[in-house]
């Protein structure tokens, strides 16, 4: 018994001595005077940086770490080191220091429970965080600090949000984008083209333009980098976008257009931070130009994005008059190509806290943004809101879920057009700083099916299988079609820069215009579901090319590759007019044909000597005679429209019906073909007779 008591006493002593605060006093380190001297020096250096303010806390870390290694049982040092970690990218290291600081001396600082709460919060130890915040709340109340009280309320509510959100994590794979993108330096804020083949991101690397070190952070200045994915899906080595794009100050990418032909860059040194645009011509990026006075103000404008048609811009500004600090605004491109007067997108999306990192999905209606408000689980979380065209309102923002959102700041998130991949920034726990990652969304867990059977009927030996009830079907939201390809000269194969005009056929309205790249001929357009699109590819000296995409609301995501060969305006060349529509079995032009007929009219007016033949063609279904007559009537209807409605001289227009005599595929009489194959044969063509 005496032995047990002695043992317990010793154990108690050990515990006591472990928990005892050890001051940096030479009397406590008589056996290691040199070590003490060095530790004191480190402490002094660390304190000097610590006292300079929060942004220098990270620089104090190496000194404090060294001092702490010598004397790990000093409450104040553990507290300061914990605080410094919280201000660095290694926030997760703060918790043990702060826990130890409190263990050594629970009144080491008035704010220790606030910081401990933050550390628990970051570690997603929700209940511990709430307890710590609540303890600090008492201090804040006694100090009558309303700002602190409000912040605590927010933090505590974030913990409650977090508790709920992590219960249902979303299923994802997270992959580092690899060594061609990420280095041991900071890479972040990546933006991608809709087809995920181009990435532009911000990095702080030694080869930063101007080569300067940011005195505030003791890191290289930010520059923009670009990388392309090869045909095997691997990222090529990222390259600095050069001094044409990058200034000697901070340059951070904010957005890239769906086709990867233009991007928005944030330049911190100008006007408290403004937004600029750079455009790719051939293989050269233009010098960034300000987005104009309607976007940029004397306040902070850190983030923006394009709508898929390029005619709307969503951007973030800290200017007064919003609902909180940074708010999201929207601006439309005017007829002169300038960004118009912006409007705050409203209190459904903007909160009294900060919003940032705005990104419009290529579907044209789903806006992703970072917010400290709504139901964030800590710092900024990424939310999405969907625009309802019918009510012209934004839906309630939804937290996109854990683990994309964490208890830390999650702001910069972009999503591929397919919705399958997201791109974001995170600290590389394997020793790097911040790196770029790709998230692959797996969707809700795919149901597993178990099979069972019973001897339901007593007199029958064979068991009876239990009926498997099919689980609920996952309803996929309406998606979009990505149309991409290369535009070239039909004869020479030369890659062409051409205008791509997207028309809403039902509304007879041009909704977007794009250009293909002059050196690669590449183009990409995003066509959100729910419209009948006419697409016209035009270039001077060439016949225009037309395509039609009727994409119902229920259409799933698809990526269509279509290389387009433009034909010179030369005698004998023929073009299919894919956006001329007739009523079923009639020769009555449907209103959706208007835009195509306008294009044809313009061509006739632009080239007054041009004479053409309009040819009608049918598929092989129905009698040959009927088809012949129908094709003639339809060709004539187009000619009649151009002469009577548009004033084109009849002697410049001929019409001819070809019935089913010039099929473009094997679907002749009796051959079984799909509707799409028959559709290819039903067409209106025009042929150049003379110029």
Partner 1 sequence: MKKANLILFLFFTSVTFAQQDSIVQAMILDSADISAEKEYNKGIDFFKKNEYSSALECFSAAIQFKPGFDKAIYNRGLTYFEMLKYVEAVKDMESVIEIIPSGDAYYWKAKSQEALGEIEEAIESYGAAVSLDKRNEKAYYNRGVLKFTKGDYEGAVADFSLAIDLNKSYTYAYNDRASAKRKLGDLDGAIKDYQLAIMIDNSLAFIHNNLGSAKRKNGDLTGAIQDYSKAISLDPKYTIAYNNRGSAKYDAENYDEALRDFDKAVQLDPKYAYAYNNRAATKFKLKDYAGSIEDCTEAIKINPNYGYAYSNRGNAKELLRDDSGACEDWKKAVELGVEIAKNHIGDCK
| Site residues (vs partner 1, CB under 8 A) | 173, 418, 420, 442, 446-460, 463-464, 466, 468, 470-471, 473-474, 476, 556
Using alpha carbons, list the distances in angstroms from residue 227 to 16, 130, 148, 230, 246. Answer: 57, 43, 44, 10, 15
Beta carbon of residue 165, minimum distance to partner 1 (angstroms, whole number): 20
647 token code pair: 């004033």
Beta strands in 343-466 (DSSP E): 343-344, 355-360, 366-371, 381-388, 393-394, 398-399, 413-415, 421-427, 434-441, 453-454, 464-465
Q: Between residues 237 and 456, which has the closer beta carbon with respect to partner 1?
A: 456
Helix axes 75-86, 94-104, angle to 10 degrees: 150
In what order do the strands lie in the sheet containing 172-176? 172-176, 434-441, 421-427, 413-415
Q: Which is nearer to partner 1, 4 or 470 (CB)?
A: 470
Measured from the CB of residue 529, what is the shortest distance to partner 1 in angstroms? 14
- Host H or E run for residue 480: strand 480-489
Q: Which is nearer to partner 1, 468 or 571 (CB)?
A: 468
| Closer by beta carbon to partner 1, 465 or else 550 | 465
Q: Is the dihedral of CA 198, 562, 551, 577 positive or negative?
A: positive
State the minimum distance, in angstroms, from the CB of residue 451 to partner 1. 4
Residue 353 contacts residue 337 (beta carbons within 8 Å): no
Least gap, CB of 444 to partner 1 (angstroms): 10
Least distance between partner 1 and beta carbon 414 (Å)? 19
Tell the smallest beta-carbon distance from residue 308 to partner 1 (Å): 21
Pair of tokens at residue 532: 């009948």
Closest approach, Cβ 446 to partner 1, in A, equals 5
Closer to partner 1 by Cβ: residue 314 or 437 = 437
The candidate with the shortest Cα–Cα distance to 187, out of 215, 216, 227, is 227
CB 569 within 8 A of CB 686: no
Counting Cα atoms < 13 Å in the Cβ hemisphere of 482 gives 21
Q: Measured from the CB of residue 168, what is the shortest distance to partner 1 in angstroms?
A: 15
- Cβ nearer to partner 1, comparing 53 with 552: 552
Distance CA 60, CA 49 (A): 5
Smallest distance from partner 1 to CB 440, Å: 9
For residues 147 and 451, which CB has a smaller minimum distance to partner 1 in the complex? 451
Q: Which is nearer to partner 1, 179 or 476 (CB)?
A: 476
Residue (1 or 470) nearer to partner 1, CB = 470
Smallest gap from residue 452 Cβ to partner 1 (A): 5
- Using the 8-state DSSP alphabet, how is residue 391 labeled? T
Quick one: tokens of 554?
Answer: 């229920």
Give 145-203 as a DSSP string.
-HHHHHHHHHHHHHHHHHHHHTTSPPPEEEEE--TTT--SSEEEEEEE-TTS-EEEEEE
> Which SS3 state, helix, strand or coil, does residue 115 take?
helix
Q: Which is nearer to partner 1, 107 or 459 (CB)?
A: 459
Please give the DSSP secondary-structure letter assigned to residue 539: -
What CA–CA distance (Å, rounded) separates 316 from 295? 9
Nearer to partner 1, 141 or 457 (CB): 457
> Toward partner 1, which CB reaches closer, 338 or 420?
420
Other CB atoms within 10 A of residue 32 CB = 11
CB-nearer residue toward partner 1: 175 or 239: 175
Give yes or no for a cis peptide into 63 (omega within 30° of 0): no
Residue number with CB closer to partner 1 (231 or 585): 231
CA distance 474 to 465: 26
Residue 229 CB, nearest distance to partner 1 (Å)?
17
Rounded to a whole number of angstroms, the minimum distance from the CB of residue 233 to partner 1 is 12
**CA dihedral of residues 106, 108, 109, 114 (deg, nearest 10):** -40
**Residue closer to partner 1, measured from CB, 478 or 569:** 478
To partner 1, the closest distance from the beta carbon of 463 in angstroms equals 6
Rounded to whole angstroms, the Cα distance separating 369 from 353 reads 13
> Nearest Cα to 261, choosing from 278, 244, 236?
278
Closer of 256 and 551 to partner 1 (Cβ): 551
The pairing of beta strand 564-566 with beta strand 574-577: unpaired
Q: What is the largest CA-CA distance in the chain?
A: 123
CA–CA distance, 91 with 495 (Å, rounded to integer): 51
Contacts of 94 by beta carbon, 8 Å cutoff, 6+ apart: 82, 83, 85, 86, 115, 118, 119, 122
Shortest distance (Å) from residue 473 CB to partner 1: 6
Strand partners, 413: 424
Q: Minimum distance between the CB of residue 439 and partner 1, rounded to whole angstroms?
A: 14
Helix (H) / strand (E) containing 135: helix 126-143
Give the shortest CB-483-to-partner 1 separation in angstroms. Answer: 18
């Amino acid at each position: 018994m005496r032995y047990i008591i002695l043992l317990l006493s010793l154990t108690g002593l050990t515990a006591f001595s472990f928990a005892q605060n050890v001051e940096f006093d030479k009397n406590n380190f008589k056996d290691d005077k040199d070590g003490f001297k060095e530790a004191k020096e480190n402490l002094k250096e660390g304190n000097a940086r610590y006292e300079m303010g929060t942004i220098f806390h990270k620089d104090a870390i190496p000194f404090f770490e060294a001092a702490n290694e010598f004397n790990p049982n000093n409450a104040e040092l553990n507290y300061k080191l914990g605080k410094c970690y919280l201000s660095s990218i290694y926030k997760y290291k703060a918790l043990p220091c702060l826990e130890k600081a409190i263990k050594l001396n629970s009144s080491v600082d008035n704010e220790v429970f606030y910081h401990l709460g933050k550390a628990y919060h970051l570690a997603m130890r929700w209940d511990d965080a709430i307890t710590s915040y609540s303890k600090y709340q008492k201090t804040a109340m006694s100090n009558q600090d309303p700002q602190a009280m409000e912040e605590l309320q927010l933090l505590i509510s974030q913990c409650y949000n977090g508790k709920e959100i992590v219960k249902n994590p979303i299923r994802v794979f997270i992959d580092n984008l690899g060594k061609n993108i990420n280095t041991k330096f900071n890479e972040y804020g990546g933006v991608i083209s809709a087809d995920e083949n181009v990435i532009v991101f911000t990095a702080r690397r030694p080869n930063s333009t101007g080569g300067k070190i940011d005195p505030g952070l003791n890191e290289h200045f930010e520059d923009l980098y670009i990388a392309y994915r090869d045909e095997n899906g691997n990222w090529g080595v990222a390259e600095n976008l050069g001094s044409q794009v990058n200034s000697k100050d901070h340059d951070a990418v904010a957005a890239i257009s769906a086709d990867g032909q233009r991007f928005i860059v944030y330049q911190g040194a100008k006007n408290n931070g403004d937004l600029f645009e750079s455009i790719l011509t051939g293989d050269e990026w233009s010098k960034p130009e300000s987005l104009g006075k309607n976007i940029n103000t004397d306040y902070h404008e850190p983030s923006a994005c394009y709508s898929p048609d390029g005619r709307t811009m969503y951007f973030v500004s800290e200017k007064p008059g919003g609902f909180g600090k940074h708010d999201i605004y929207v601006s439309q491109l005017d007829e002169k190509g300038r960004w118009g007067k912006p409007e705050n997108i409203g209190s459904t999306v903007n909160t009294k806290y900060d919003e940032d990192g705005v990104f419009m999905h290529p579907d044209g209606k789903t806006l992703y943004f970072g917010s400290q408000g709504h139901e964030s689980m800590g710092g900024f979380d990424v939310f999405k809101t969907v625009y309802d065209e019918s009510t012209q309102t934004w839906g309630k923002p939804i937290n996109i879920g854990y683990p994309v959102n964490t208890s830390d700041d999650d702001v910069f998130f972009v999503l591929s057009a397919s919705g399958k991949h997201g791109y974001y920034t995170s600290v590389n726990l394997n020793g790097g700083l911040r790196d770029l990652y790709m998230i692959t969304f797996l969707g809700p867990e795919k149901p597993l099916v178990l099979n069972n059977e019973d001897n339901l009927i007593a007199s029958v030996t064979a068991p009876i299988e239990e009926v498997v009830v099919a689980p609920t079907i996952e309803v996929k939201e309406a998606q979009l079609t990505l149309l991409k390809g290369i535009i070239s000269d039909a004869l020479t194969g030369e890659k062409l820069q051409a205008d791509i005009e997207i028309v809403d056929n039902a509304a007879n309205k041009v909704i977007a215009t794009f250009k293909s790249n002059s050196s690669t001929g590449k183009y990409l357009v995003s066509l959100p579901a729910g419209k009948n699109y006419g697409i016209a590819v035009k270039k001077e000296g060439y016949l225009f090319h037309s395509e039609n995409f009727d994409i119902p609301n229920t259409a799933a995501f698809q990526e269509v590759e279509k290389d387009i060969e433009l034909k010179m305006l030369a005698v004998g060349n023929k073009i299919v007019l894919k956006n001329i529509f007739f009523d079923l079995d009639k020769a009555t032009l449907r209103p959706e044909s208007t835009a195509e007929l306008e294009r044809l009219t313009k061509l006739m007016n632009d080239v007054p000597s041009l004479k053409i033949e309009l040819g009608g063609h049918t598929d092989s279904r129905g009698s040959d005679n009927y088809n012949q007559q129908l094709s003639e009537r339809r060709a004539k209807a187009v000619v009649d429209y151009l002469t009577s409605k548009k004033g084109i001289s009849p002697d410049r227009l001929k019409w001819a019906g070809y019935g089913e005599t010039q099929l473009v595929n094997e679907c002749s009489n009796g051959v079984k073909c799909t509707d799409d194959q028959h559709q290819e044969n039903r067409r209106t063509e025009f042929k150049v007779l003379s110029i």
